[in-house]
Amino acid sequence: MTVTREQVLAVLDQVKSPDGLPLPRTGTLSEVVASDGKVFFSITVDADAVKAWEPVRKRAEEAVRAIPAVQSALVALTAERKGGAQAARPAQPAPRHAGASARSESPQGVPGVAAIIAVASGKGGVGKSTTAVNLALGLSALGLKVGILDADIYGPSMPKLLAIRERPQTVGGTRLKPIARYGLAVMSIGFLIDEETPMIWRGPMVMSALTQMLREVEWGTLDVMVVDMPPGTGDAQLTMAQQVPLKGAVIVSTPQDLALIDARRGISMFRRVNVPVLGIVENMSYFICPECGTRSDIFGHGGARHEAARLGVPFLGEVPLHMSIREKSDAGLPVVATEPDGPHAAIYRAIAAAVRDELSAGQGARAAPRIVIEA
């Protein structure tokens, strides 16, 4: 049984706005995405009307969930700012999430989560998601409780990299339970929406979906949450870096000059929003010939280490270009979990230890550490 847009709109007709109008007639609805039992849409209202609209959002979500063919529904409330502010910063989250601190400099933390770190790159396809998963598993192997939030709304990777096909269950009606895999708590928009569904996301929808995955998911107690960021350093990424309460960022780069220029952009983006750069990982750093064992530095290995020194950020380690990393990663069997005794798992664990040490050092330097990450 599948659910159609028309079915969704029909039930939304019964949901009334604060002015008593049927929801589809208020002009606040985004495109309704309904596919394979999963429904997503957003309601965009003026920033000062958000409070009045929150019960409407809730009722809309409940009404859609009550359709028999619907397995999951996510309704985001997003705030449109009046005047020109929207153009300058397109991805402001709804104030209901940020509460009184909507305009303040640093976003609120997530209760129970000691440290949130971003894995980012200026450029796509450098191995960010692969690094995020194996780093998370490496941190977990060090005895930490770890979660992964897939913030790549346009191209979620976690369903594939962790071979997750099930849908998250809801707890208490509205909150979602993350999926547990290899000891990690995982959440991705890909669990709610088909990978194949072309998504038309506007800036505010992206932030709203991200904020919901951050704050309306039962993450439990985590030492570290690893956020797999979308590639790039545009407005959307900048706003994410600003709105997610990050303790630090790990930048992934390949050794080529072009990737390094992008990595530099990534670093300056995090610096601009006062998020400490925990360090750089050089991915696809060198190649060991599986036949003869000869090492080749195909992309001119070492560029990221050099760049890290030049920019005064830690160098966290280098990961070789290896067929088994690609095959395992793309088959949903990350090397750290499935080949824990192999050389690649050891490399990722060493990177994880370096990240943990950087985090602990940063925590110590701050005025009021909430939870100290044990060494």
The residue (of 61 and 228) whose beta carbon lies closer to ligand ATP is 228
Nearest distance in Å: CB 208, ligand ATP? 21
What is the phi/psi pair of residue 230, to 5°?
Answer: -70, 155
Of 363, 359, 110, 125, residue with least CA distance to 250: 359
Task: List the one residue from 129, 208, 283, 363 that touches Mg ion (CB under 5 A).
Answer: 129
Is position 283 an interface residue for ligand ATP (rule: CB under 6 A)? yes
Is position 157 an interface residue for ligand ATP (rule: CB under 6 A)? yes
What is the phi/psi pair of residue 136, to 5°?
Answer: -60, -45
Is position 157 an interface residue for Mg ion (rule: CB under 5 A)? yes
107 is written with which tokens? 């976003």
Measure the N-to-C terminal CA separation of the chain; round to a whole number of Å: 51
> Other C-beta atoms within 10 Å of 301: how many?
20
Query: Of 125-133, 190-198, 232-240, 341-349, which part binds Mg ion (CB under 5 A)?
Result: 125-133
CA atoms 119, 113, 185, 317: torsion sign: positive
Which of the residues 253 through 292 are near Mg ion (CB under 5 A)?
Answer: none
The residue (of 42 and 129) whose beta carbon lies closer to ligand ATP is 129
Three-class secondary structure of residue 113 per DSSP: strand
The residue (of 154 and 310) whose beta carbon lies closer to Mg ion is 154
Nearest distance in Å: CB 210, Mg ion? 15
Nearest distance in Å: CB 95, ligand ATP? 30
The rounded Cα 168 to chain-centroid distance in angstroms is: 16
Which of the residues 82 through 141 are near ligand ATP (CB under 6 A)?
Answer: 121, 124-130
Binding mask 215-234 for ligand ATP (x = CB under 6 A): ----------------x---
CA atoms 327, 330, 333, 334: torsion sign: positive
Query: Of 74-82, 149-157, 176-184, 199-207, which part binds Mg ion (CB under 5 A)?
Result: 149-157
Task: List the one residue from 24, 155, 302, 332 that touches ligand ATP (CB under 6 A).
Answer: 155
Distance CA 277, CA 264 (A): 11
The DSSP result for 246-279, as a single string, is -SEEEEEE-SSHHHHHHHHHHHHHHHHTT--EEE
Q: Residues interacting with ligand ATP, by CB under 6 A? A: 121, 124-130, 152, 155, 157, 231, 283-284, 319, 321-322, 325-326, 329-330
Q: Residues interacting with Mg ion, by CB under 5 A? A: 128-129, 157
